[in-house]
Every structure is written in C-alpha cells, then in structure tokens.
C-alpha cells in the first residue's frame, strides 16, 4: 500500500480497528442494557470518526453530543491548568448515564479535566471510552473504563488523530515519521 510521505508505518490497520470497535460496542451495549438512554459525549475534534463507528454499532438507545476543548500547546503538551471548555454539550447531562468518548489519552490531563468537569454535573453515572492510550506518557492517573489499544510513545495519525489537522480521515492509525514533527517543534 502506498503511504502518504509523512507516514512511517501503520500501527493499527483498518480491520484491526474495526474489530476492536465492534468488541467495545458489544461490551458497552451489554453494560448499559438496562438504561433508557446512554449519552455519548464526543470530544472534538479527534473523536469524531471513532464515535461515529462506535455509536452505529451500539444496540442500546443512545444520544450523541459533543464538547470542544482548547489547550495551550498541542497534544502531548497539555497541562492541568491549560485545558478550557470552548464548546459545551447542547443538552444537560444531569441524571443521565454519560460516556465520554476520546480518541487518545496522552498525558491524561484532558481526560482528568473532563471526568472532574462532568462529575460536577451530577450524571447518573460517568464512564470513559478511549480508542488509544499511551501508558508511557501518562502524567496523571486516569479513569479508563473502555480502552481500545495501548500504543507506544510515537506521534500517531489517522482515524481521527491528526498532525497539524491533517490525516484525520485515514482509515488506519499510523506513526508519523519522527523527522516531520521534530522539524516542526524547532
Ligand atoms: C488530543 C486528544 C485528547 C488530548 C489528549 O486532542 O483528542 O483530547 O489530545 O492529550 P492529553 O492526554 O495529553 O491531555 P488535541 O488537543 O490534539 O485536539 P484535537 O482532538 O482537536 O485534535
């Protein structure tokens, strides 16, 4: 397969991702079998592809909402005091079962912020679902209820993940060539 020039190698191919998303959806559907409506909260922008695939495989009633955050610095440069909510969910989540859907947990500061923020809204329950996590990069303990894949500490793109807003729509998750992001950092 011809890879875009900035891509070093594929870490998770399309079939592997789809299989795992299917498993996660089955597990979530079983765990929420009794709820009236599960509220999926996707974190923009990175989660939009994962959320779309996951939600379409759920067999329990659910609604989809989104939030957007801004952090000073890009992925991997987050600090606990640097995360800000710039777009909130459209509907209140008080009293509802909420599942936060993320594409990646890097340092963990974003998810830590989200869990605290949503806990304060008194949902009926609160869990997190992230497609990927980089354990080697975690700086804070995070609540990972549903996890797709643990991945190594390399810059990944595809399936929602970006480099400078590019490559989000690749069907696979791939490692970027280190020289690409190193050159940008200097
Ligand atoms: C990414 C990702 C998480 C966050 C994780 O978002 O979607 O929200 O970084 O990093 P952390 O664990 O170090 O806090 P990003 O800021 O790249 O924005 P995007 O989703 O719009 O690409």
pTM recorded for the entire structure: 0.95
C-alpha to C-alpha distances, 124 to 36, 41, 142, 156, nearest whole angstrom: 11, 14, 20, 34
What pLDDT is stored for residue 76 in this prediction? 52
Q: Is 135 in the pocket of ligand 1 (CB under 6 A)?
A: no
* Helix, strand, coil in percent for the chain, rounding step 5: 30, 35, 40
Identify the active-site residue in 106, 145, 162, 165: 106
Residue 102: HSE in the Cβ half-sphere, 13 Å Cα cutoff: 28
- pLDDT tens-digit readout, 42-87: 999 999 999 999 999 999 999 999 999 987 655 555 566 688 999 9
Nearest Cα residue to atom 8 of ligand 1: 110
Can you give the pLDDT at residue 79? Answer: 62
Q: Kindly tell me the sign of the dihedral angle through the C-alpha atoms of 37, 70, 162, 90.
A: positive
Q: Whose CA is nearest to atom 22 of ligand 1?
A: 46
**Mutational pocket test of ligand 1: of 104, 130, 166, 173, the residue with most ligand atoms within 8 Å of the beta carbon:** 104
- Mean pLDDT for 93-115 is 97
Residue 82 structure tokens: 């640097």
Burial of 130 (0-12, 13-18, 19+ CB in 10 A): buried
Round the CA-based radius of gyration of the chain to a whole number and report it: 16
Q: Does 103 qualify as catalytic in the annotation?
A: no
Distance CA 96, CA 124 (A): 5
State the DSSP H helix or E strand holding residue 6, giving kind and residue range, or none if neither: none
Using the mean position of ligand 1's atoms as its centre, give its distance from the Cα of residue 91 in Å. 23
- How far, in Å, is the centroid of ligand 1 from the Cα of 117? 16
Q: What is the DSSP letter of 72?
A: S
Give the residue, out of 46, 50, 76, 148, with the most ligand 1 atoms within 8 A of its beta carbon, to mutate for a pocket test.
46
Question: Residue 151: its pLDDT value, please?
Answer: 98
Q: Give yes or no for residue 96 CB within 6 A of ligand 1.
A: no
- The residue assigned the tokens 């995070």 is 142
**CB of 109 closer than 6 angstroms to any ligand 1 atom:** yes
Q: Is 121 helix (H, G, I), strand (E, B) or coil?
A: coil
Ligand 1 pocket check for 76: Cβ under 6 Å: yes
């Amino acid at each position: 397969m011809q890879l875009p020039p900035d891509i070093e190698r594929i870490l998770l191919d399309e079939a592997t991702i789809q299989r795992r998303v299917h498993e996660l959806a089955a597990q979530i559907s079983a765990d929420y079998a009794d709820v009236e409506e599960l509220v999926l909260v996707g974190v923009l922008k990175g989660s939009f592809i994962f959320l779309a695939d996951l939600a379409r495989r759920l067999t329990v009633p659910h609604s989809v909402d989104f939030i957007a955050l801004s952090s000073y610095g890009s992925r991997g440069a987050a600090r606990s005091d640097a995360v800000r909510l710039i777009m909130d969910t459209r509907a209140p989540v008080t009293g509802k079962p909420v599942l936060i859907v993320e594409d990646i947990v890097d340092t963990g500061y974003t998810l830590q912020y989200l869990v605290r923020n949503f806990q304060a809204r008194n949902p009926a329950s609160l869990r997190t679902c992230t497609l990927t996590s980089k354990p080697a990069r975690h700086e804070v303990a995070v609540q990972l209820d549903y996890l797709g894949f643990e991945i190594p500490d390399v810059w990944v793109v595809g399936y929602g993940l970006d480099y400078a807003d590019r490559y989000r729509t690749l069907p696979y998750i791939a490692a970027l060539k280190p020289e690409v992001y190193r050159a940008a950092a200097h």
